[in-house]
Amino acid sequence: MASHPSSNLAAGFLGRRCLVTGGAGFIGSNLTRALLGGGAQVTVVDNLSTGLRENLPDHANLALVEADLTTWPGLAGRSASSDYVFHLAAQVGNVKSITLTEEDAATNVLGSVRLLKSCCGTGVKRVVYSSSSAIFGEAERIPIDEDHPQSPASFYALSKMTGEKYALLAASLWDVPTVCLRYFNVYGLPMQDNEYTGVISIFSNRLAADEPLVIYGDGEQFRDFVSVRDVVQANLRAALFGRPGRTYNVGSGEPTSIRQLACVMSEIAGRPTRIVHRDFRAGEVRRSLAEIARASAELGYAPEVVLRQGLTALMEPVPGQC
């Protein structure tokens, strides 16, 4: 398909009514700001368990509803009056899900099902479901394409896979125009600040406190780190151009080992690389790298932020050595 410049994407939502679940969170707040910048009318639904009011701007076209998708009585009415629905509300964390398994399933599965059902028989043009690369488990082949076998290694991964399958079936059984995006390792601002956030946030916080960087395992495990700016781009493209019942990987298409990441971030921070190794954690994969050809061909998606550029934007750039 023809490429559409990312800077013009948000303009496609001018005057449109958009519902963003989890919109006060990391990715959701970035998406909300982009939609508002394009002239959309946005309703954010967030229970604020991890999302923050201060992540959202004071804007005439923004309404924040503090509610849980599993119990909010206004969900059906709001969905019916929306043109586009972006579903980002979730309990996130592979390790967290091992102990908070019921909460994980309630939020990620039941909340998703209730949202999808609320869109049935409405005029919603597209529902964009936020899934995760965690559903693949340990990679059998690299890069990981959309048809790669799914073998979740945590309850979080299982819940995201289950929600995704409900979303895809909703497209065929309920005629709900769903598109699923599988995010790889997302980073950016606003920084997340709890123990279950991405390694980039954790490393950044430890460098700021002049603490050593903790690596679980040998550090040779690698990830596909993708800027939240590119994830927002993918959401906008999926809503405008995505094929209902289709899944798309969202990543950078570039591998970075955790040891490399520690080295680069230490260099940007102007600090010597100090690493403490601990045992590899259960539920985490060793290799993860996105094949993004489908998103490129069908959505016009192309990553715009290279990792060092994105990391520098997060940190105070001070000359140093690795």
What stretches of 28-116 adopt beta strand conformation (E)?
41-46, 62-66, 84-87
Q: Is 187 an annotated catalytic residue?
A: no
Q: What is the DSSP letter of 110?
A: I
Residue among 41, 37, 250 at smallest CA distance from 128: 250
Instruction: Kindly name the residue from 156, 166, 183, 187 that is annotated as catalytic.
Output: 156
Cβ–Cβ < 8 Å for 56, 64: yes
Q: Distance between CA atoms of 190 and 234, rounded to whole angstroms?
A: 18
Report the helix count and the strand count for the chain, using DSSP H and E.
12, 13
Count Cβ neighbours within 10 Å for each residue of 15-39 and write b for 16 or more, e otherwise.
Answer: ebbbbbbbbbbbbbbbbbbbbbebe
Q: Active-site residues: which are they? A: 156
